[in-house]
Structures are given as structure tokens and as C-alpha cells.
Amino acid sequence: MLQQCNRFHGHGSLKFVYKNGQAVRSSIATIKYVKNPYRNHSRFAVVVSKKVLKSAVRRNRIRRRVYEIIRLELPNMKNDQDVAVIIFSAEVLSMPHKDLKQTNKESFLSSSTV
């Protein structure tokens, strides 16, 4: 699991990222990011809507899978951004870890968070 200092949630923080962030879209997710000059570490949020999957267990499983990929890639990323990963495809649940990691890595590279 990602450390608490690298996670954020709450409507105010997410609203700020949604409103002011730049977006990078892939086939399974959108990554919105914004520079946060007040912190010396990056923070991440993974959002999976009920429209994607009705089951909370499955939504949380997707969330944990994405957080694990972020945790492994964290040393290679910039340390001053707030990032929201918005999942809009249920296929993330059954996607092999290798493919999911590659998709997220490409998105992070194109969003200049690396």
C-alpha cells in the first residue's frame, strides 16, 4: 500500500485537481495532475466510480492494484505534484498486472510526472 503521506482524498483536494489539473487520457483511465508548490512530496488519489463497478469490493480491488503500481514507480516520479487517477473501465479488474503497469507507466511518462 502507498504511504499515507503520498495519498490524498477529500472533495476539496480532488476538486482542485479536477478544476486546475492537466489531463492525460488512456484507454482505461484519465490522469489529472497539478503542481503543488506547498508540498515536497507527490500525492495520489485513485477514483473508481460506481458507474464502473457496482461492487465496493471490486472497486477497492482496482484501487489497491493501481496504488501498488504507483508505489513501485514512486522513486522515479517528480516530488511536487498532486495526481488523480480516474478509472473508467471495468477491464482493469481482470487485466494482467504487467499490462496494467505498462499502461499506467506510459500515461505517467506522457504526463511528465516522471
Q: Taking the domains of the chain in order of start, what are their residue ranges?
A: 4-110
Q: What is the mean pLDDT of residues 10-39?
A: 89
With contact defined as beta carbons under 8 Å apart, do 43 and 70 qualify? Answer: no
Q: Which amino acid belongs to residue 78? A: K
What is the CA 21 to chain-centroid distance, rounded? 13
Question: In the structure, what pLDDT confidence band is assigned to residue 50 with cuts at 50, 70 and 90?
Answer: very high
pTM of the model: 0.86
* Secondary element (H or E) of residue 82: strand 81-87
Residue 23 pLDDT exceeds 70 = yes
Overall fold of domain 4-110: Ribosomal Protein S5; domain 2 (3.30.230)
pLDDT tens-digit series, residues 78-114: 788 999 999 999 999 998 988 888 887 777 656 654 4
Provide, rounded to the nearest whole percent, the portion of the chain with pLDDT above 70.
Answer: 94
Answer yes or no: are the C-beta atoms of 107 and 113 closer than 8 Å: no
Rounded CA-CA distance 72/109 in Å is: 14
pLDDT at 48 over 90: yes
